[in-house]
Structure 1
Amino acid sequence: MTISRRDAMTGGLVGSALALLGTEAAAASPAATDWKRGFDNQRIADLGDGRFLNPLISGDRPDPAILKDGADYYMTFSTFDSYPGVTIWHSRDLINWQPRGAALHKNIGSVWAVSLEKHEGRYFIYIPVKASPNSIFVIHADSIDGPWSEPIDLKLHEHIDPCHAVGEDGSRWLFLSGGDRIRLSEDGLSTVGAVEHVYDPWRYPDTWDVEGFSPEGPKIHRHGGWFYMLTAVGGTAGPPTGHMVIAARSRSIHGPWEQHPGNPLVRTQSLSERWWSRGHASLVEAPDGSWWAVYHGFENGLWTLGRQTLLDPVEWTADGWFRMTGGDLSQPIAKPRGGRAVPHGMALSDDFATLNLGAKWNFFRPAPDEASRARVEKGALVLKGRGTAPVNSSPLLLIAGDPSYEFQCDIEIAPGGTAGLLLFYDDKLYCGLGFDETRFVTHQYGMERGRPANPHGRKLTMKVTNRHHIIAYHLSGDGGRTWSRFDRGMEVSGYHHNVRGGFLMLRPGLYAAGPGEARFRNFRFRAL
């Protein structure tokens, strides 16, 4: 969907009204204090008492692609226009996850739902991209930590959401959106023959409120003599009741496919539920032999956080089918046993001793030379200016998964340069505060607006607070010992996909524009 800047200005009102739909659930839903807290006070799933509370991984972690590799689990997500992208996360117990590093460093387009696989000792990631033209690429590596190969274009221009599968005869396939598939070569690096249609997905009643049919995200699993195919239908966003999980099975990778009698297996049915638009599921076996489904969903009233990763317990039934047993996922669930827990997540605060691109920081829609703009030097991130404003400066961004948080940074600009802190959806919808040596510039609705006088010159400390979409800015000229509030507040509940499109999230970050280099020190993040 494309909107004008004038339409974008109404987004906050639209988002605020829609957010009110979820207020009736507030009393029954987990409060902020119900989550355990990890790095920078960020919420984490593991409650420490043998239970966990979704989200499994908070913030924009959509279209999870999960791989069980012996005692290790790896997962990655759609990373869209953020690069380095396709960050690999690692777990040993299925509940606690840490980022390892990015697998994709070359900007090949907006990365959608990928397939992460291991076949005959080699790792593969099949990557669909929205570009000109759209296509599906593959990269491969002998180690999960790389180095990963250069992207190979499979020239599949009409499909998204590939899923690698191996048949009972050893043949390799990519299952695609719309119930289609294509054969892969033995090495998995090219296609053989033409795309063929092999499955007609289950249809929901036409009285249901959905975004559209949109069969996508097929995931193939072999278990107990059957191939199971999980598919998402109903549209990824739009009405919260649209996105859902359906399943089918076959004795052969070649079909025919039998619809699950319980379809849909997962679907948000009420606006009062904690998780909206739940879908795009994969099955995975835990260390204790139990089975689980990992999928994504929007948190009630928090479209700005993007689609977050969720974990739902699975029960196999006597007839060879399975069902999800976690209900609406609003309550704690008993964890699977076994596996060694790693500290979950990562600190978003940064002293810039190293430059953590990929696992922590990502450029938005970078040019081929974007990484050369950034370096660390004597405890500072030194970022060369690009463009004139966030719209064309390729800002450096983080993924934050809490409804409320604050972040601050010491910023020093070069003569004639501009820099600042942002809440950034995309290059047409963002807000924040920047400054040059004489004036501030406010960013709102993806536009540059007021320019009041700056009494601090080329060096100051800036803090941004986001309390459930209410934004405040504070400034300090003495390194954060005393603060003054900047006279501009904002409301950003409408800065999300259902207003702007693009499937992204509102991300905290920083930017540098104009001539010279900006220096950022002591970046501090804290969930509230």
Structure 2
Amino acid sequence: MNRRLAVQAALAGASLPAVAAPRFGNGVEGQRKADLGNGTYINPIVPGDHADPTILKDGADYYMTFSSFQSYPGAVIWHSQDLVNWTPITAALTQPIGTVWAMDLIKHQGRYYLYIPVLQDAGTGIYVTHADDIRGPWSAPIDLKVPGCIDPGHVVGEDGKRYLFVNGGRRIRLKDDGLATDGALEANAWKPWQYPKDWVVEMFAPEGPKLFRRGEWFYLISAVGGTAGPPTSHMVTVARSASVHGPWEDAPNNPLVRTQSIEEPWWSRGHASVVEGPSGDPGDWWMVYHGYENGMRTLGRQALLEPVEWTKDGWLRAKGGTLDRPLPKPRGGKPSKAGFALSDDFSSGKLGLQWAFHAPGPDEAKRLRFEHKSLVIRGKGKALPDSSPLTCATGDRSYEVTVDLEISGDGHGGLALFYEERGHVGIGFSTTQLLTYGYGQEHGWMRQNIATRRVLIRLVNRENVVTWHYSHDSGTTWTQHPWQMEVSGLHHNVFGGFVSLRPALFSAGAGEVRARNFTYRGL
């Protein structure tokens, strides 16, 4: 089964106008920051490509991770104590196992578990990795051997048994250690809520079950409507049951969240996890989900935080409206560090958490070595598309990237904006030529004969309009590349893949590229 068909099969499961830019604060290097410093915050809480959030409250600490797709190291875990300011602490996945979708991060009897849906050439399945310390080391991933399933949601039933609920209304019981299944996959374990037939969505796609227990009820949060497509596609729904075995009752106010209009600042809002707030107040609850920023699908689905309240009859109600304005921060949380620098002078001798290979092989890390405050990348493939570029996710609408590159051998390398193999732009240098990538291909007619050993490349992306410059005299003089590029179409609705357009370093052919002083600045 090819990947596109596998995506459609997995989503099917067992069933089948512009606004002003949001206000935001200035963070590291001008990067977006949610905390406005006056007791309020503005979404997103984690900007850029951070889809399918799964959140864990562990005492005073919160941990969250997101789908990492074909990027490795992957399953980066973020930490916060106030739900607004987040910083990454580790990557739970280092060896490729496939395309990683919506995970579930949980803690059970003192051990952390990460349940991981994976798309491989043979279709979809679910893995698990575990750790005694959230910062690792994490175990090697274990295949649970449940083909055709995605989006696991872990719960411990009133019977003390552990279960994974998955897309399409199905579930499977786990053994007590959570590392193997215990029985067959069950259909019709829950019935996804059905929206009115005339709503404009992408597809039914019942997915993303997340479960928790509060008082006498189990609550099941799930998504329907498709994760992309029209701005009004995605949504958050709620059901509850007195037993993990059902029957499940749909909330009378479903959907809890849905984008109603193209005029709203966030599109395709959905795929939520619900968590208690830091104050300890029984009514202090919050919801984290994802959405596309209006007109900026190139940034991918970003992590959004919204307050929720409990009604007298035990249902949830969303309180954030369209998220078009600042909201009061959660009460009681300790101030947390926000974000992290994307710039890298490569002096640490290891790959920073901002970096990930696209679609790497099992030994991809062997292409890298660190020397004298530089990163050397051995060439791979023939050109940018098949070079497994080293990408860096960003969440800013406008930004500037500069990098100092040294080219050696019979190959070429450079700086790109990379969505996937068919969707990218960039410029590169061999020792003799300048090469230009646009519309997902290298344009031989634009090659220029330029003798190059060392070059500075600067990329400026202003609201999806891209300008390139390069310098051969350490930045004293700059030459503007003759092709300015508009890249707003490089996103999921065009190419699939669910990801974002990212700055990327690449090294192709039989040579090496030495990178120094990668500098990122939000504009």
Query: TM-score per shorter chain, which class?
Result: over 0.9
1:235 aligns with 2:226: yes
The one-letter amino acid paired with 1:174 is L
| 1:474 alignment counterpart | 469
Q: CA offsets, 1:53-108, max 9 Å, x none?
A: 00010000000010001111100000000001000100111111110111011111
SS at match of 1:413: strand
1:215 aligns with 2:206: yes
1:437·1:454 contact (CA, 8 Å) conserved in 2? no
SS at match of 1:287: coil
Q: CA offsets, 1:215-268, max 9 Å, x none?
A: 000010111221100110000000110100110001111111011000011000
The one-letter amino acid paired with 1:455 is I
Q: CA offsets, 1:155-201, max 9 Å, x none?
A: 11111100110012211000000111100000000001111121111
316, 320, 330: which one aligns with 1:336:
330
142, 155, 158: which one aligns with 2:132:
142
1:456 Cα deviation after fit: 4.9
Q: Distance in 2 between matches of 1:100 and 1:481?
A: 38
311, 334, 355: which one aligns with 1:361:
355
Q: Distance in 2 between matches of 1:461 and 1:167?
A: 58
| 1:16 alignment counterpart | none
Q: Distance in 1 between matches of 2:241 and 2:306?
A: 23
TM normalised by structure 2 equals 0.94
1:288 aligns with 2:283: no
1:39 aligns with 2:28: yes
1:356 Cα deviation after fit: 4.8
485, 496, 503: which one aligns with 2:498:
503
SS at match of 1:315: strand
1:407 aligns with 2:385: no
| 2:44 alignment counterpart | 55
1:84·1:357 contact (CA, 8 Å) conserved in 2? no
1:234·1:244 contact (CA, 8 Å) conserved in 2? yes
| 1:181 alignment counterpart | 171
Q: CA offsets, 1:443-483, max 9 Å, x none?
A: 11211104432435121100011111111100111212321
Q: CA offsets, 1:23-82, max 9 Å, x none?
A: xx22xx53xxx3111111001100000000000100000000100011111000000000
SS at match of 1:514: strand
495, 512, 517: which one aligns with 2:512:
517
1:214 Cα deviation after fit: 0.5
1:415·1:458 contact (CA, 8 Å) conserved in 2? no
1:124 aligns with 2:116: no
| 1:465 alignment counterpart | 460
Unaligned runs of 5+ in 1: 4-20
2:3·2:120 contact (CA, 8 Å) conserved in 1? no
293, 296, 306: which one aligns with 1:302:
296
| 1:8 alignment counterpart | none
| 2:14 alignment counterpart | none
1:357 Cα deviation after fit: 3.2
Does 449-458 or 192-201 show the bigger shift? 449-458
- The verdict on how the C-alpha distance between 1:469 and 1:421 changes in structure 2, with shifts beyond 3 A counting, is same
| 2:196 alignment counterpart | 205
1:2 Cα deviation after fit: 9.1
The one-letter amino acid paired with 1:119 is H
Q: Distance in 1 between matches of 2:500 and 2:257?
A: 23
Number of aligned residue pairs: 504
Root-mean-square deviation (Å)? 1.3
Q: Distance in 2 between matches of 1:353 and 1:100?
A: 19
TM normalised by structure 1 equals 0.94
91, 103, 106: which one aligns with 2:80:
91
391, 394, 400: which one aligns with 2:388:
394
1:414·1:515 contact (CA, 8 Å) conserved in 2? no
1:315·1:322 contact (CA, 8 Å) conserved in 2? yes
51, 58, 68: which one aligns with 1:79:
68
2:435·2:448 contact (CA, 8 Å) conserved in 1? no
